[in-house]
Amino acid sequence: MKEELEKIKSKGLERIKEAKDISELEEIRKEITGKKSELSDVLKHMKDLSNEDKKTVGMKVTEIKKDFSDNLDKKKEELIESMSVLEEPIDLTLPGKKVNEGSLHPITQMRNDLNDAFLSLGFEVYSEDDISSEKYAFDNLNFPKDHPARESMDTYWIEGTENKEGAERLCLRPHLTGGSVRYLMSHGAPARFVYPGGAFRNETTDARHERAFVQYEALIVDKDISFSSGMVMIQTILEKVFGKKINTRMREGFFPFTEPGYEIDMECLVCGGKGCKVCNNVGWIEVMPGGVIHPNVLKSAGLDPEEWTGFYINIGLDRLVMMRYGVDDVRLFHSADLRFLKQFK
């Protein structure tokens, strides 16, 4: 009897060991511990045994059952551990499923980035209409009467108004600055706002020149501020765009609507200021004009220049986006060409 039990035990353990999957294991569990198992048979035939033997065999059977149960559980753990949800291995080098396509225009992305940065400095976002008049595009901005920008070689005038003057002579705005006066007229001072928008100039186009482009203007008007406060705006923009502090320099520049006015250069990122092809060997790249708002411009916005002063910068977003990604042809921005647009996720 004892040998028989030992045989049952070793046979059972052997079977557990050889089980290949969970269902086989469950089958085995039934076979070796169930009602029709050899162990159950042994118990069924116990009545023929002496009390002494009954006790020994009973204990032995319980022990074997526990052994079986432990081994079965252990084997189950093992099998689960080695299981896969896949029937067979898959090619892990196949590409993943594409996410939804679509993206904002790279200039819109840049504009949104800048808006977020300026919003955190308490600037409002302003927008104005594309079509303006000579009065707002030039007269208010202290452009002399015979400034060449007023010519049709430079500005797109609206048919039927080209020979009129001032508020009656209409154009596609050649720059955003005229809109700044509109904002100041309606909102008054103090003011701080940014102003993104399209501007249009009658130009011969090439890889660096476009007829339609996007500008971003930022303006502060307040009492008793010095022009050096404006440098913070410049740093904000560049840090946001390039993700690190960028060295800048300000140099003399002339614009009718500023006094003083300056050109703002940033250190060439390609050569780090040493001079290379990209920066024409100067080490600096012109990024934006800026300056103190000319008293005559404040006057046309109905503000007293004795009381108020302001600082302004105007940056070409096309140019900035070109620098951000290394785009070499400005005309791509208005091409609506998906081969280009799909690159800016």
Instruction: Report the C-alpha gap between 248 and 228 in whole angstroms.
Output: 13
Residues touching another protein, count (CB under 8 A):
88
C-beta of 166 vs 272, nearer to another protein = 166
Residue 181: which of 211, 137, 215, 148 has the closest Cα?
137
Give the amino acid at 281. Answer: N
Among 51, 84, 93, 228, binds another protein (CB under 8 A): 228
Give the 3-state secondary structure of residue 221: strand
Q: Per-residue x/- marks for another protein, 98-127, CB under 8 A?
A: --xxxxxx-xx---x------x-xxxxx-x
Residue 250 within binding range of another protein, rule CB under 8 A: yes
Nearer to another protein, 242 or 344 (CB): 344
Report yes or no: 196 and 162 within 8 Å, Cβ to Cβ.
no
Residue 253 binding another protein, by CB under 8 A: yes
* Least distance between another protein and beta carbon 94 (Å): 22
CB 287 within 8 Å of CB 266: yes
Question: Does position 128 bind another protein by CB under 8 A?
Answer: yes
Q: In angstroms, what is the minimal distance from the CB of 330 to another protein?
A: 12
Token pair recorded at residue 47: 């009545």
224 touches another protein (CB under 8 A):
yes
CA distances, 288 to each of 42, 150, 238, 251 (Å): 97, 22, 11, 11
Task: For residue 79, state whether it binds another protein (rule: CB under 8 A).
Answer: no
CA 158/CA 174 separation, integer angstroms:
12
123 contacts 216 by C-beta, under 8 angstroms: no
257 part of the interface to another protein, by CB under 8 A: no
User: Which residue, 4 or 337, has its beta carbon nearer to another protein?
Assistant: 337
Fill in the per-residue mask, 142 to 161: x = in contact with another protein (CB under 8 A), - = not in contact.
Answer: --x-x----xxx--xxxxx-
